[in-house]
């Protein structure tokens, strides 16, 4: 796990493509990106068939157009999401604000969990519709391999997006511990002037000096009592 706040070092470092490609979350994003292409590519290319006596093509998944639409929509949006977060990962080490890094990692967790859920729904939906499809709707079994591939890679995508959520959560845990130390710490007392010297009590003075009394009296007291005067 990378050092620094939320899985990245100090801002301003040089971008290293080799290090970036080897990062686990980068690998999972690229794998998810490929899986999304496979899903919506299979449905778009071979997911619509028609009978010999029909001119209109129907969805291969039980002639349910919603199943094909859902698979294509989720695949395309997942494809774009992967590209977006790959760009965010490239820019992430340049983010100097710890708060912005925290928001980015939290959004990564939320989006990854959301897409894992969408792919789970898509897998269940496509698998169910393929299971109840009627053989007479596709007598030549056209596009069967593409339909199975779409179902399989929808299933695999659940784990790749869940893995991204897990890695993002680990980055959040590590970042929350190191965020306080990601910036140079400055003692608040440095902003103030020099402290006042402490009050020096009598006990802090040199005991050898002792109490010194003036050698000359500024005023001499007059003689006390009544004085007689000689005539």
Q: What is the spatial distance between Cα 28 and Cα 209, in angstroms, rounded to a whole number?
A: 80
First-residue to last-residue Cα distance in the chain: 116
pLDDT digits (tens, 9 = 90+) for 83-132: 999 999 888 888 878 888 889 999 999 999 999 999 999 999 999 999 99
pLDDT digits (tens, 9 = 90+) for 156-215: 999 999 999 999 999 888 876 554 434 433 334 444 444 445 555 555 555 555 545 555
Q: What is the spatial distance between Cα 19 and Cα 182, in angstroms, rounded to a whole number?
A: 21
Task: Enumerate the domain spans of the chain.
Answer: 33-181
Cβ contacts of 189 within 8 Å, gap of 6 or more: none
Residue 72: band (very low, low, confident or very high) from pLDDT cuts 50, 70, 90: very high
Q: Smallest Cα–Cα separation from 164: which of 126, 107, 230?
A: 107
pLDDT at res. 2: 44
pLDDT at res. 27: 93
pLDDT surpassing 70 at residue 15: no
pLDDT surpassing 80 at residue 221: no
Rounded to two decimals, the pTM is 0.69
**Which range is least confidently modeled, 17-26, 137-146, 163-172, 189-198?**
189-198
């Amino acid at each position: 796990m990378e050092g620094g706040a939320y899985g990245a070092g100090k801002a301003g470092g040089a971008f290293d493509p080799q290090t970036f490609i080897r990062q686990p979350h980068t690998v999972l994003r690229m794998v998810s990106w490929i899986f999304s292409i496979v899903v919506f590519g299979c449905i778009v290319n071979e997911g619509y068939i028609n009978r010999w006596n029909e001119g209109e093509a129907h969805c291969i998944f039980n002639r349910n157009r919603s199943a094909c639409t859902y698979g294509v929509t989720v695949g395309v949006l997942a494809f774009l999401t992967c590209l977006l977060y790959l760009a965010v990962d490239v820019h992430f080490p340049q983010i100097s604000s710890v708060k912005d890094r925290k928001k980015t990692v939290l959004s990564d967790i939320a989006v990854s969990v959301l897409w894992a859920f969408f792919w789970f729904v898509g897998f269940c939906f496509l698998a169910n519709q393929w299971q109840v499809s009627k053989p007479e709707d596709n007598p030549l079994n056209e596009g069967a391999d593409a339909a199975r591939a779409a179902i399989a890679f929808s299933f695999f995508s659940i784990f790749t997006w869940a893995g991204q959520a897990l890695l993002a959560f680990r980055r959040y845990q590590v970042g929350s511990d190191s965020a306080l130390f990601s910036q140079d710490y400055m003692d608040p007392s440095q902003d103030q002037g020099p402290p006042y010297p402490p009050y020096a009590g009598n006990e802090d003075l040199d005991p050898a000096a002792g109490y010194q009394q003036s050698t000359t009296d500024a005023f001499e007291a007059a003689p006390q009592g009544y004085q007689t005067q000689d005539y």
